[in-house]
Amino acid sequence: MSLLLALLGSAQVVLWMENGDRYSGQIKKISGSELVLESTYGGQLRLPRANITRWQDEVGQLKAPAELVAALPAVKPKADWEYKVAADASAKLKRGESSRNDILFKLDSQLTAEQWRWGLTGEYEYDTSEGETLTHKYQLLPKLDYFFHPNWYWRGSVDLRYDMLGDTYMETDYASGPGYRFWKRKESWLEMNLQAGWSAVRWRDEDTNLALLFPGNHVVYPLAKLGWDYQQPLGDSRFTLFSQGNYVKFLAQRSDWLVLNQQAEGEFGVRYALSKHLRLAWRSEVEWSDMWLEYAGQKLRPADDLEWRHYLSLGFNY
């Protein structure tokens, strides 16, 4: 034990905990129940040994927790992959004097391995009324995070929205920037991220209204984006609160008449676990846009700059 501590006390190690947290520093003491770590970022930490899943020394070898107290031959295990997927579907079917079908499907997947985390979110919406299609669009949001600190990470993301029917048929946001994870404990977490990038909007050539405001059939706006992601189970009950969204500030204008100032979108709600993998969810979504047309010294704002939608959905998680 003393020999092992002498070796570890002068070396940098990284510890991975059961809840996903990661700590780096020098091991100062090991007892039967806990480990004392002199953290790289200041102060000593007392960590329960039972919650340590693995550790890595300064030469990059991954080792089992038992090797913290016995100098066993270093065995490099397979990479620790963790995969999560969840999907929710809601539908409103109306029959009577008029008929209407509203369908919304959402998918959220995440893959983590060591310092890397990859996610993909998707959404598909299809509405019809009296045989006429009113809405037909989808959204894909791939993102990649690299944790360079137990709480800090760098994110790159692409937000693609495609509208089969709208005049502005495609919007693509490219953004990158730092994020901070305040905590993560099993199914509880809070994260915020700040990104910068640009938004590219394309419209159909036959749209004459936008052609009056912009040359060509597309425009690119620089932007800054503040995002959040929150989830919190309510004690030992089956209920879980959740919320996520983005606030966007446009950093420059591309038209002499149209001003895009800022916009925000988010969702919040509560889930109820029917079983280990099946759940019900009540979710409210909000979209807000701060934009206007400047003409003859007046600001003309759209009437529908704020929109609320509410859904009751059935979903699964794995």
Q: Helix, strand, or coil here: 206?
A: coil
Q: Helix, strand, or coil here: 119?
A: strand
Taking the model in full, what pTM does it have?
0.74
pLDDT tens for residues 19-55? 777 778 887 877 767 778 887 666 788 888 878 877 7
Q: Where are the domains of the chain?
A: 2-68, 81-317
Q: Which ranges constitute the DSSP H helices of 128-282?
A: 208-213
Average per-residue pLDDT in the chain? 83
Q: Measured between alpha carbons, how far is 181 from 117 in angstroms, rounded to an integer? A: 13
Classify domain 2-68 at the CATH class level.
Answer: mainly beta
pLDDT tens for residues 94-147? 555 666 778 889 999 999 887 899 999 999 999 988 778 888 999 999 999 999
Helix (H) or strand (E) holding 11: none
63: tokens are 């080792």
Q: CATH 3.40.50.1820: does it fit domain 81-317?
A: no
Residue 41, Cβ density class (10 Å: 0-12 exposed, 13-18 middle, ≥19 buried): exposed
